[in-house]
Chains A and B, each alone.
Chain A
């Protein structure tokens, strides 16, 4: 791999990688069973430089911001490289947000350019807020010929001949603005520098290196910090290959493992659990004697991998299981949300290590990672090289808020000095997560200090951001909370939002109100929906400016009733 210490920016590291690994395959893109694209590093360079040149000709300058709003595909990475080559700042946006939310973030980020897939652009064009868009240059991928793009250009045609000038950036310059959440209320744009990414990449590849021949299956959205690092920067600076799928249906994902002999993949817990369910169902179908043999072999594998993973031994013992994953899988990487230890153990016992970690967008990608020496399903691993972690004000059990200091911690929140001051205190990033270290230096997580949930799909949901959907609900007042915020748990998982309702005098909670809540709830994407309600008998405490005192109300509710008082929706 490249020696990243020598580089001052992502653009120069990627530029050297394209030359150094020119003959290696860097990208494969498949749509169901059809392979659409296969590019070498040399091909990648040939496609991206004309785009960089066209950006240059369109007055896209150093420090200008360009958003990408796309599902995982080759044009995402090609566009990102062209942006870095031109000295730009990349703003990866979440394609799963609504068009209105995407417009809000485009405005907040002040992106001069947006690269967007046609179906997403179509939704944005039809949004009532569309007329407010200030983005100057819109590049639309995969638009049908002759389609109305409202002034946008077809990405495929946006290229110019001639070598573009490479624009060098310094380590302290901004590389990306990544929104960790907060679309509805207060956008949290994490400003990450080139140094943040280069150091994160160094730390991750020190423990889990890539090399030419490695095939990484990119499933988590590339706008997410994890895939951006391990599905783009990491593999590219090591000459590895990234595989994109245009559909994430489980059967095509399973097929891709085999077809492309995948080496690594990052998955959210929901997908890992789905794979576990599928395997368990297959095991249950086996005749009794075969099941007994399988159980015996799994037992032998457990014994042999107790102190460390031995993938080759596991593949020999359990060849059919490993063949189902392509036969070359080294590990499943998981992060972004709570993963049940039993699921991780299930895969590890089959000889497929699940690399669990802990991180947040504000800290680059990961702060801790399991090094598998030995495998531990009950922790999120040890701090990565260069990461310092502290437990603040630990209680008698050693549990307290985790604070992090590292070269990977973001510079600040975009245009939010107040939030930055609250979050980064004397150089330490306050994570809002509760944890402690065990005697072997592994971090164990024990819940959250903040009012938020992380879904099984790895999404951060802040209750404040979804309350607007309940605007005008016929009650006196309401407030949305994370259940674990009101009734702190010493564990993660089973996270849910609920709505606390204060009814009008003489108002009764009836089926009409229940239906109204349900109707509004259904307007939210499924992962953002409120899971229960609680009717509260007192007025909510408010500040002098009449804002609800969330913490005060949460404490009051938490002290008065048990979490079982929340009625499921």
Chain B
């Protein structure tokens, strides 16, 4: 199984590609609403891509209040 750090790294790569921003502009503790300038619905679109990539399903309630990549990676890692 991949490590939490690998998961986090892959999430950052995918988020950068999804929102078309340079990977180096994103860091694990970034608030993605703020850094990416996106609203919660746009973030949900990204989450679906992440779910498909990792082959997991995250219920909406698991994601309530999650706004940084590291916490999100933790939620995904827990279901891998």
Residues of A within 8 A of B (CB): 32, 71, 95-96, 117, 119-120, 246-251, 270-271, 274, 457, 522, 525-526
CB distance from A36 to the nearest CB of B (A): 13
Residues of B within 8 Å of A249, CB to CB, are 44-45, 47-48, 60
Q: How many A-B residue pairs have CB under 8 A?
A: 40
B64→A96 contact, CB < 8 A? yes
A246→B33 contact, CB < 8 A? no
Residue of B nearest to A457 (CB): B40
Residues of B within 8 Å of A95, CB to CB, are 61
Residue of A nearest to B51 (CB): A249
B65→A525 contact, CB < 8 A? yes
CB distance from A417 to the nearest CB of B (A): 35
A526→B67 contact, CB < 8 A? yes
Residues of A within 8 Å of B61, CB to CB, are 71, 95, 117, 119-120
B1 in the interface (beta carbon within 8 A): no
Residues of A within 8 Å of B9, CB to CB, are none
Size range of the interface on B? 10 to 19
18 A-B Cβ contacts within 8 A? A71-B61, A117-B61, A119-B59, A119-B61, A120-B61, A246-B59, A246-B60, A248-B60, A249-B47, A249-B48, A250-B41, A250-B44, A250-B45, A270-B40, A270-B41, A522-B67, A526-B33, A526-B40
B45→A71 contact, CB < 8 A? no
Residues of A within 8 Å of B45, CB to CB, are 249-251
Question: What 7 new A-B contacts, CB under 8 Å, besides A249-B45, A274-B39?
Answer: A117-B61, A246-B60, A248-B60, A249-B60, A250-B41, A250-B45, A526-B40
B10 in the interface (beta carbon within 8 A): no
Main secondary structure of the interface of B (DSSP, over half): helix
Interface residues of B in 19-43 (CB under 8 A from A): 31, 33, 39-42
CB distance from B46 to the nearest CB of A (A): 10
CB distance from A182 to the nearest CB of B (A): 20
A32 to B61, CA, bound (A): 14
Residues of A within 8 Å of B57, CB to CB, are 32
B41→A274 contact, CB < 8 A? yes
The verdict on A247 contacting B65 (CB below 8 Å), with A270-B41, A274-B39 known, is: no
Residues of B within 8 Å of A117, CB to CB, are 61
Residues of B within 8 Å of A271, CB to CB, are 41
A71→B60 contact, CB < 8 A? yes
Residue of A nearest to B39 (CB): A270
CB distance from B54 to the nearest CB of A (A): 15
